[in-house]
Chains A and B, each alone.
Chain A
Amino acid sequence: MAALLQAGEVSSRALAEAHLAAAERQNRALNAWLFIGRTEALAQADAADRRIALARREGAAALAGLHPLCGVPIALKDLVSVKGGQATAGSRILKGYVAPFDSTVTARIRAAGAVILGKTNMDEFAMGSSTEHSAFGPTANPWALDRVPGGSSGGSAAAVAAYHVPVAIGTDTGGSIRQPASLCGIVGLKPTYGRVSRYGIVAFASSLDQIGPFARDSRDAALLLHAVAGRDERDATSAPVPVPAELLALPPGDDEAASYLKGRHLALPKEYFGEGLEPGVAARVREAVAAMEAAGAVVEEVSLPHTDYGLASYYIIAPAECSSNLARYDGVKYGFADRSSGEFIADYLRTRGAGFGAEVKRRIMLGTYALSAGYYDAYYLKAQKVRTLIKADFDAVWAAGFDAICAPTSPTVAFPIGAKMADPVAMYLLDTCTLPVNMAGLPGVSIPAGLSDGLPVGLQLIGAPWSELSMLRLARGYEGITARAPWRALEPAELPLTDDPTTPSPIERNERLKTGAPARGPGSESRGPIP
């Protein structure tokens, strides 16, 4: 896209028009977008066109100085502040909130010249693994419309998979970029903790949250990471670590990309291939690792012995931090407020009781309990100590000289909407392969590795702190060796159905599930349930 834009063969406005039209036409059936900002997007596209035209007049150096994303459409998860726009975080309590400033990520995207088309659906406050916990209805997976796109950044993942945008921003606290990337068959990167400024992003769990890119290939993901990464004075946790310019120069050629795999040391952690992993997912991941081995990588099995303690310790730390972060929604400064009783505490209780959804309440309750008098040592402190052990497991792998850890991203492919809503623990188990990476603060990228039962499987590459460039080079290498694999040519199977106005929306599907009525219309009876 960058080359066509800079050569003047296509305008940013034409790109924005085409992508907006697809998003507007298909969003009823997908519910990937909570807001599509046509007017604002076209104004940004015209500005990008002016920048590109000016640079072309000034010459090659000025053109080379443009960021490759200048003029390229992008989607933002609806917890990223865009001045004057909404930021619901998927919650009723922030419905109607208008962001008074740009997040740093937004400002950097504007500086690069990318064109923001709108805001995407998500699990409320990024708590969930399916986007079903959005107060504005679930999102459908373009590969199978009766299935979830993963979560919490499911709207961003679905929008990229559906070709509504080539790149999007998500956030990842326990897998919320990588897992939906896996389920939607795209690339999703969670950077090292501290890599991207979180100023202006609605907080969930502050020692775990990171912002990162979605894209359909590793090169585009690298471009977006380059645009948003780096130290920001407004976020004290953003690290003064240089952002490598090589992110702009991942090899376009498949053979050159594949040559990077030669001699790389890849670790295969046995704990990630245990119970609960779908056989089809295990098979695709093992095939992917075997393909990299055949291309010259050295693969060795390793042990991350505290993996089994990850889930329990994460589901103490994340809720504890969320209960503290979400204390700010008090009906005083912004957001929904119920002041009908006129009595302070009663109004407070009503505001939060009506403003938050079931999963957010559950986590606030868990976190409040884990931090409450008499339980702090048994739960929160214990979990922080276990976190030390989990991090030490990873440190031992890097000390042994490995370049990356290869694992499944999600233990399952996309599951039917409604399948896991009744049992919170079943939903939490979907994060087992991703959340240890957040606990250790490491970068992780999920890349498509073929299909199982016609649904995408993700391969997760986990690296040492600040190794995003190496992870993306490995990902690009894997793309190089699989460039001619038949599954690479496959498109999201049910995307064409989203053009059909009789296709039910995810909200309608959800209503039918609740009332027990049989689902009708295209994309409803294509597959049997996953046990």
Chain B
Amino acid sequence: MANLTRADVEHVAHLARLGLTEEELARLEGQLNHILDQYAVLASLDTDDIPPTAQTIELANILRDDVVQPSLPVDDALANAPERSGDHFLVPAILGGGGGA
């Protein structure tokens, strides 16, 4: 079905926000193509009239009353943050000039 090139692998790695080494990219090119070859078996099945299955138990939406429940205290939620500023997660700037945090 597919023949992933090195450029494809680099593109997908960027979409997935994975920083990969040259060695990893080279190895993945071979491995991903080998795995994608296994997917080819699916093409032989006619599924035009088959609906997709996303969940297996037939649960309808379960609603609850809109009542405020206790939730995680802010300090607990921030306790694992690499950097915090007051009651906020500190993140690097993503807009303007490419400057750091």
Contact = CB atoms under 8 A, between A and B. Distances in A.
Interface of A: 97-98, 100-101, 192-194, 207, 233, 236-237, 239-240, 306, 308-309, 311-313, 315-316, 323, 327, 330-335, 337, 339, 342-354, 356, 358, 361-362, 364-366, 368-369, 372, 375, 378-379, 381-389, 391, 424-425, 428, 439-442, 465
A98 B93 CA distance: 26
Contacts of B15: 368, 372
A465 B57 contact: yes
A278 B59 CA distance: 39
B16 interface: yes
A387 B42 CA distance: 11
Given A240-B62, A333-B89, A440-B56, A388 B51 contact: yes
Contact of B92 (A344, A378, A385): A344
Contact of B53 (A334, A339, A378, A388): A388
Contacts of B91: 332, 344
Interface in B48-92: 50-57, 59, 62, 64, 72, 76-77, 79-83, 89, 91-92
B81 A332 contact: yes
- Looking at A309, A312, A440, the one whose CB has the most chain B CB atoms below 10 A away is A312
A98 B51 CA distance: 42
A442 B56 CA distance: 9
B34 A425 contact: yes
Nearest to B17: A348
Given A334-B82, A362-B35, 14 more contacts: A333-B81, A334-B80, A352-B18, A352-B19, A353-B18, A358-B24, A382-B42, A385-B47, A386-B50, A388-B52, A389-B45, A424-B34, A428-B38, A439-B56
10 contacts: A97-B80, A207-B54, A333-B89, A342-B99, A342-B101, A351-B19, A385-B52, A391-B53, A425-B35, A441-B57
A387 B53 contact: yes
A235 to B, nearest CB: 11
Complex A-B, nearest 7 residue pairs according to Cβ-Cβ distance, in ascending order: A441-B56, A353-B19, A342-B100, A349-B19, A334-B80, A384-B52, A337-B82
A379 B41 CA distance: 11
A335 B45 CA distance: 42
Contacts of A383: 42
B1 interface: yes
Contacts of B20: 353, 361
Interface range for B: 35 or more
Contacts of B50: 385-386, 388-389
B85 to A, nearest CB: 12
A311 B41 CA distance: 10
Given A98-B79, A101-B72, A350 B19 contact: yes
B76 A366 contact: no
Contacts of A309: 41-42, 45
B77 to A, nearest CB: 7
B19 A194 contact: no
B60 to A, nearest CB: 11
A344 B94 contact: yes
A331 B13 CA distance: 17
A194 B57 contact: yes
A312 B2 CA distance: 14
B98 A343 contact: yes
Given A194-B59, A331-B82, A348-B17, A365 B41 contact: no
Interface residue SS majority, chain B = loop
B18 A312 contact: no
Given A316-B39, A362-B31, A364-B16, A100 B79 contact: yes
A366 B52 CA distance: 20
A364 B24 CA distance: 13
A339 B64 CA distance: 41
A369 B28 CA distance: 12
Contacts of B1: 378
A356 B64 contact: no
A425 B40 CA distance: 14
Given A100-B72, A384-B52, A342 B80 contact: no
A83 to B, nearest CB: 9
Contacts of A442: 56
B49 to A, nearest CB: 9
Nearest to A382: B42
Given A353-B18, A425-B38, A343 B100 contact: yes
A390 to B, nearest CB: 8
A306 B46 CA distance: 12
A193 B56 contact: yes
Nearest to B47: A385
A356 B18 contact: yes
Contact of A424 (B13, B18, B35, B59): B35
B32 interface: yes
Contacts of A316: 39
A364 B14 CA distance: 11
A233 B67 CA distance: 13
Contacts of B101: 339, 342
A78 to B, nearest CB: 16
B12 interface: yes
A127 to B, nearest CB: 13
Nearest to A375: B2
Given A240-B62, A337-B82, A312 B41 contact: yes
B18 A349 contact: yes
Contact of B18 (A335, A364, A428): A364
Nearest to B15: A368
B82 A207 contact: no
Nearest to B55: A207
A313 B42 contact: yes
